[in-house]
A and B are shown apart, each in its own frame.
Chain A
Amino acid sequence: GENVEQHPSTLSVQEGDSAVIKCTYSDSASNYFPWYKQELGKGPQLIIDIRSNVGEKKDQRIAVTLNKTAKHFSLHITETQPEDSAVYFCAASLGVSSNDMRFGAGTRLTVKP
């Protein structure tokens, strides 16, 4: 089955700097890659996603890139703000009829003011 690895497990940046979180997946048939943000005491919230027919997607300060050949995808947050502090999870999905979404272990991002 699909296996997703996420790095780093913790990341600390200064406000205004950029943050990059990377994930690798094992199954080349995976075609959907969402990113979730989880704040303390809340459920994961989808922040951006990308499908395998696209190499990059951007939404304001957040962007995701996908390299299908290398089987890795990354989350880029620019101009970080203290409210970006949270745990971020990547996931990969094969898109078949049963649950096939596998999550990375998470990255705890801290943005220092």
Chain B
Amino acid sequence: DSGVTQTPKHLITATGQRVTLRCSPRSGDLSVYWYQQSLDQGLQFLIQYYNGEERAKGNILERFSAQQFPDLHSELNLSSLELGDSALYFCASSVSPLAGGPGETQYFGPGTRLLVL
């Protein structure tokens, strides 16, 4: 168990709908990362938050957005869903991205499996 929790575990919805995925990082971790993993695909970085502020953006669609709250949990919002958005969505956390410091281990949650019908 990595200490990162994600809810819900499974989500089934229809095209055009909007869903919210939730992530709680490990105790003490300030950074949260969101990744998308489509069938038989690698991990595609979506977005990173550090202590409530957006730190980096990857291949995140404009229909997707995220935020990190004062208690450090994060939510990923997916709107106007399309069939192609069906995927596993992972949240990861790390202690903090120290400027100029060494790379940090990211600890992954169990994921949310999203199915868009």
Q: Are B102 and A89 in contact (CB under 8 A)?
A: no
Whole-angstrom distance between the alpha carbons of A42 and B109 in the complex? 8
Report the minimum CB–CB distance from B53 to chain A (whole Å).
11
Given A89-B43, A101-B45, A95:B103 Cβ within 8 A: yes
Point out the residues of chain A lying under 8 angstroms from B98, CB to CB.
Answer: 95, 97
Q: Are A43 and B104 in contact (CB under 8 A)?
A: no
For chain A, the count of residues having a C-beta within 8 Å of the partner chain is 27
Summed over the interface, the residue pairs from A and B with CB atoms below 8 Å come to a total of: 70
Point out the residues of chain B lying under 8 angstroms from A101, CB to CB.
Answer: 45, 103, 106
Considering the complex, which residues of chain B in the window 59-117 have a beta carbon less than 8 Å from any beta carbon of chain A? 90, 97-111
What 7 A-B pairs come out closest when comparing CB atoms? A32-B103, A93-B103, A98-B56, A95-B103, A43-B108, A97-B99, A99-B48
Which B residues have a C-beta under 8 Å from some C-beta of A?
2, 4, 33, 41-43, 45, 48, 55-56, 58, 90, 97-111
Which A residues have a C-beta under 8 Å from some C-beta of B?
30-32, 34, 36, 42-46, 49, 51, 89, 93-106
